[in-house]
Amino acid sequence: MTEDPRALLRADDLRLAFGSTPALDGASVAVERGEIVALMGPSGSGKSTLLHCLAGVLRPDHGEVWWEGRRLDTLPERRRSAIRLERFGFVFQFGDLVPELTLRENILLPLRLLRAPRADFQRADDLLDRLELVEVASRRAAEVSGGQAQRAAVARALVHRPGVVFADEPTGALDSVTGEIVLTTLVQLARDHGSSIIIVTHDHRVAAHADREIVIRDGRTTAEVIA
Amino acid sequence: MSISRTLLGLLENEPSYGYTLKHRYDELFARTKTLAFGQVYATLGRLERDGYAEVVGVETGEGPERRRYAITTEGVAELDTWIRTPEPATAFAQSTLFVKTTLALLSGRPPREVLDAQRGVHLARMRELTKARTRADDIDRLAVDYEIAHLDADLRWIEEASERLEHRDRAKNKGNRP
Give me the CATH number covering residue B49: 1.10.10.10
Cα three-residue angle B93-B99-B105, rounded to 5 degrees: 125
Average pLDDT of the residues in A58-72: 94
What pLDDT, on the 0 to 100 scale, is given for residue B153? 92
pLDDT above 70 for A4? no
Which helix (H) or strand (E) covers residue A198, if one does? Answer: strand A196-201
What are the chain A neighbours of B151 within 8 Å (beta carbons)? 204
Q: How many residues does chain A have?
A: 227
With beta carbons less than 8 A apart as the criterion, state whether B115 and B101 touch. yes
Same domain, B50 and B99: no
For residue B144, how many other CB atoms are within 10 A of its CB?
Answer: 19
List residues of chain B with CB under 8 Å from any CB of chain A. 116, 119-120, 122-124, 126-127, 129-130, 134, 148, 151-152, 155-156, 159, 163, 166
Which helix (H) or strand (E) covers residue B93, if one does? Answer: none
Same domain, B94 and B166: yes
The total domain count for chain B is 2
Among residues B84, B105, B138, the one where a domain terminates is: B84
Same domain, B35 and B106: no
Q: Which residue of B has its CA nearest to A217?
A: B163
pLDDT interval class at A5 (50, 70, 90) = low
Q: Is A83 helix (H, G, I), strand (E, B) or coil?
A: helix
Q: Is the dihedral of CA B44, B46, B49, B51 positive or negative?
A: negative
Cβ distance of A42 and B163 shorter than 8 Å: yes
Using alpha carbons, select from A36, A46, A21 the residue that is nearest to residue A211: A36
Whole-number Å distance between alpha carbons of A69 and A65: 10
What pLDDT, on the 0 to 100 scale, is given for residue B93? 61
Q: What is the DSSP letter of A211?
A: S
Among residues B84, B111, B140, the one where a domain terminates is: B84
Same domain, B101 and B74: no
Interface TM-score (ipTM) > 0.95: no
Cβ distance of A225 and B124 shorter than 8 Å: yes
What pLDDT, on the 0 to 100 scale, is given for residue A176? 83
Same domain, B95 and B20: no
What are the chain B neighbours of A225 within 8 Å (beta carbons)? 119-120, 123-124
pLDDT interval class at B83 (50, 70, 90) = confident
In this structure, which amino acid lies at residue B136?
A
What pLDDT, on the 0 to 100 scale, is given for residue B174? 77
- Which neighbouring-strand residues pair with A66? A10, A71
Same domain, B7 and B78: yes
What are the chain A neighbours of B163 within 8 Å (beta carbons)? 42
Among residues B37, B54, B84, the one where a domain terminates is: B84
Residue of B123, B128, B150 to mutate, testing the A interface (most A Cβ within 10 Å of its Cβ) = B123
Strand duo A212-217 + A220-226: pairing: antiparallel
Same domain, B96 and B74: no
What pLDDT, on the 0 to 100 scale, is given for residue B91? 61
Cβ distance of B127 and A217 shorter than 8 Å: no
Average pLDDT of the residues in A192-217: 93
Same domain, B53 and B129: no
Domain that holds residue B38: 3-84
Q: Inter-axis angle of helices B138-176 and B111-133, to 10 degrees? A: 160
Same domain, B99 and B67: no
pLDDT above 70 for B34? yes
Average pLDDT of the residues in A197-221: 92
Residue of B119, B127, B158 to mutate, testing the A interface (most A Cβ within 10 Å of its Cβ) = B127
Cα three-residue angle B125-B127-B128, rounded to 5 degrees: 65
In this structure, which amino acid lies at residue A34?
G
pLDDT tens digits for range A119-170? 999 999 999 998 899 999 999 999 999 889 999 999 999 999 999 999 999 9
Same domain, B75 and B94: no
Same domain, B95 and B170: yes
- Which neighbouring-strand residues pair with A205? none
Mean pLDDT taken over chain A: 90
pLDDT above 50 for A1? no
- The DSSP secondary structure of chain A, one letter per residue, reads ----TTEEEEEEEEEEEETTEEEEEEEEEEEETT-EEEEE--TTSSHHHHHHHHTTSS--SEEEEEETTEE-TTS-HHHHHHHHHHHEEEE-TT----TTSBHHHHHHHHHHHTT--GGGGHHHHHHHHHTT-GGGTTSBGGGS-HHHHHHHHHHHHHTT--SEEEEESTTTTS-HHHHHHHHHHHHHHHHHHT-EEEEEES-HHHHTTSSEEEEEETTEEEEEEE-
Name the residue among A205, A213, A227 with its Cβ closest to that of B148. Answer: A205
Phi, psi of A13 (to 5 degrees): 50, 50
Same domain, B94 and B80: no
